[in-house]
Amino acid sequence: MNPQDDRMHSALDETSAPSSLNPSREQILEMGRAAIQMIADYYGALPQVTLAPNTTSAAVREQLALEFPVAGKDFDTLLEFINQKIFAASRHNGHPRFFGYIASPGTAATALADLLASTLNPSLTSWRSAPGAAEIERQTIDWIKQIIGYVPAAEGLFLSGGSMAHLCGLAVARDAKAPHPVTSQGCQILARAMRVYISAEGHHSISKAAGLLGIGRDNVRQVAVNSRFQMDLRALAKLIEDDLAEGHLPFCVVANAGAVNTGACDALDEIAEVAAQYGLWFHVDACYGGFAALAPSKRVLFRGIERADSVALDPHKWLYVPGDCGCVLYRDPGRARATFGHEAEYIRVLALASDEAFAFWDYGPELTRRFRALKVWMMLAHVGAEALGEAIERNCQCAEYFAQLAAQADDFEMLAPVELSIFCFRYVPPALKTAYAIASGGERDAIDQKLNALNERILTAVQRGGSSYLSNAGIAGRFALIWKSCLTTCAKQAGRLWKKNSACCRFQASPSD
């Protein structure tokens, strides 16, 4: 053997791989114990840690700066770095006083399921690539269909989140309703503009999807809402009629099953009737609210969702699953395959039964996909639908309790009814409340602007103070403070937090307010 062969033999020797790339079983156990200890310590200390860091981007960048790693560091050193620096520079969405967004806290079981999914690391392109993972995903999709009462023959898949689910739903809607083959020839072949209808409370990702799909953001028509922030059906019909009269092509209506700002649920059954009357695709945004169908008191809100042509849901919102994990369902799987199916030779499935020939790439834009389903499967199989429904009921009751506390105070104003787990309010000093009651027109607008500025100051003070974390939204031109109930908050704790935040609000109000 010549020297060159010796070098090649040495390079291919399995024992020559660095242990950091190919650790032994004992090393894996040691690494795992250290990581699990850190996870357990994190969950155990979570109620006591600072909810969000009061810092700056420059400070965090300096804190996390490392030179390019030519040589690696040992695992324990990096775990310590993660714990002491990355965790410390993070907002903790699982904190019992985090009310800012519909961001799942995650759970230990689902975090570990994510670890196992990454360990197996299947490429969920199709059944043949990952039989076990594919069956778990399809089974979990079936469970979700049962939760919302969707048609058993529907198909679906897990995606990164609601934005991608909406993109998929609108893509299939566009292709199903376009008079020409836009999938192959593009939207420029159309003589008429395709129009989408969405509530004024709808999510911005619908407009983004319309832009990406060649429909155009300007062709997303916002429909006025009623006093409960539900889509106004008369306004919807008028917009459709106006667009038809102007020569446009109405093709899709998007209904909210839990608006992300107010929690409002549109009248799904009635919107389905309008969609049927005009031949529109009916897409439901159930990303936030859909899993409230697990709560007995809220199931009535989702009557009519079974009539949707497509539904978007986010397990990483109200199913308490770590991100990223969205989901899209299609009533007619053939419509989805017509949009996403592609026959490249290297992905052609040969000599398999129909179930074994199932390919996820026929239902979405991704080819390589991670095993997102396992954490959803773990949540449902480990906790069970009944306990999850009870947790969601408690979240809703907590929001209702906040609303009661606000109603008992003379210096707070509810800005939207509590439908699910979201409470929208603003602080209104008594003097401004009195002035607002007798004002009109421009005077009211001026007071609203003053209140907007005050409530912006309050939000900043609450977030920096660390007692809790709220978010904000624009509700009918008013700056609203948003309190979104989280998994671990109880009524007793909520009462204490309300007192603290009330004191903060009153402190921020200057004598001139």
Helix (H), strand (E) counts: the chain: 18, 11
CA gap 224, 198 in Å, rounded: 9
Reported as type and span, the H/E element at residue 474 is: strand 471-475
List the chain pLDDT tens, one digit each, 513 residues: 565 666 656 655 655 566 788 899 999 999 999 999 999 999 999 888 888 888 899 999 999 999 999 999 999 999 999 999 999 999 888 888 888 888 778 899 999 999 999 999 999 999 999 999 999 999 999 999 999 999 999 999 999 999 999 999 999 999 999 989 888 888 888 889 999 999 999 999 999 999 999 999 999 999 999 999 999 999 999 999 999 999 999 999 999 999 999 999 999 999 999 999 999 999 999 999 999 999 999 999 999 999 999 999 999 999 999 989 999 999 999 999 999 997 654 445 554 556 778 999 999 999 999 999 999 999 999 999 999 999 999 999 989 998 998 899 889 999 999 999 999 999 999 888 889 888 888 899 999 999 999 999 999 988 887 778 889 999 989 999 998 887 776 666 777 777 777 877 777 776 556
Alpha carbon distances (Å) from 91 to 38, 49, 51, 76, 97: 17, 10, 6, 23, 11
CA gap 254, 205 in Å, rounded: 12
Residues 6+ apart with CB under 8 A from 495: 401, 405
DSSP state for residue 385 in the 8-state scheme: H
* Domain coordinates in residue numbering, the chain: 23-90, 115-383, 387-508
| Spatial contact of 375 and 321, defined as CB atoms under 8 Å apart | yes
Burial (0-12, 13-18, 19+ Cβ within 10 Å), 181: exposed
Establish whether domains 115-383 and 387-508 are of one fold. Answer: no
Q: What is the pTM of this model?
A: 0.91
| Spatial contact of 206 and 287, defined as CB atoms under 8 Å apart | no
Omega cis (within 30) before 324: yes
pLDDT at 501: 77
pLDDT at 467: 76
Q: What is the CATH number of domain 387-508?
A: 3.90.1150.170
| Spatial contact of 327 and 314, defined as CB atoms under 8 Å apart | yes
CA gap 388, 386 in Å, rounded: 5
Q: Which of 20, 77, 485, 96 lies closest to 295 in space, CA to CA?
A: 485
CA gap 310, 331 in Å, rounded: 6
Residue keyed to tokens 């594919």: 134
Q: How many Å separate Cα 333 from the centre of its chain?
A: 23
| Spatial contact of 423 and 99, defined as CB atoms under 8 Å apart | no
Give the model confidence (pLDDT) of 460-471 as tens digits: 988 887 778 889
pLDDT at 346: 45
Q: What is the CATH number of domain 115-383?
A: 3.40.640.10
Alpha carbon distances (Å) from 368 to 125, 138, 316, 364: 5, 16, 20, 11
